[in-house]
Structure 1
């Protein structure tokens, strides 16, 4: 009966409880990661629904819709707006970019800043993953795309010639028209693409 003494049973019970808590924590962490992937989309270097171009480019500049995004009633209108902004960035056309952007975005970016930001950048392989209405004429659109750029023009934390992006884009209604809000801090993930 020496095994039933508190000096033996308490440590064994603690080990069993800690092991059970470890298993529960691992299951909850996996579930949380799955929920985050479902909310944002694939956050790895390969974009779900878009093949990563093998030639090192950003890929075609045409904006695509996932089946989920395509089912949304205003999908064509939203795709066209994003397409016009992608075209403006690729052409380094500030006036066209302004026509697609929210007033707060336009107020925070000068023509010189826009030119500097887009000087070597090409955007491609764009996919709209989902379109989520959030009320008051606003939408959140999880997107993925690829950019190529001079590494010196890339974000300082990822100075790479090609980046894969996951961006939670916000669209607002201003004077009856949808406009794109420049992505805010924390709304995008970027990783170097191989």
Structure 2
């Protein structure tokens, strides 16, 4: 899955309240983030709204293993420096061990309000992941979406609506049908 903070409304360093938006500060620090102005893969047939398009590079970077992200939020120290790694947004300095723990981007959470496009954005990033899996058949691990059982059919409907027919293969991992999951793109 992907990792995106749509809003971090505030945090309190030194007991003062500072409003911020992590994504927009991240966007200001990267000059290539606005270059991706189309859906990432032809699998997606529904046009994305501009705010969803601009978030895709950030989400995609959270999918790249081993901190090889093009828009990494961490700056590592040069040889002989007094710090190991520094977060470019918060300026938090961490040790090498903490850096390894916090710089593993293979995780995610989309947490916008209802109706703002989380499902189509997730389908778009899954389509991009599928493109990567086709290029490298050794990394064909499906995306797992955890939903209450009553909402599973909603996801199947949204995949059918926004993705090309037959492009993404979704399987339900529930009850006695928990087998042959490696052939799925989405669980």
TM tier, smaller: under 0.3
Give the TM-score, by structure 1 length: 0.25
Give the TM-score, by structure 2 length: 0.26
Name the structure, 1 or 2, with higher relative contact order (CA <8 Å, separation 6+).
2
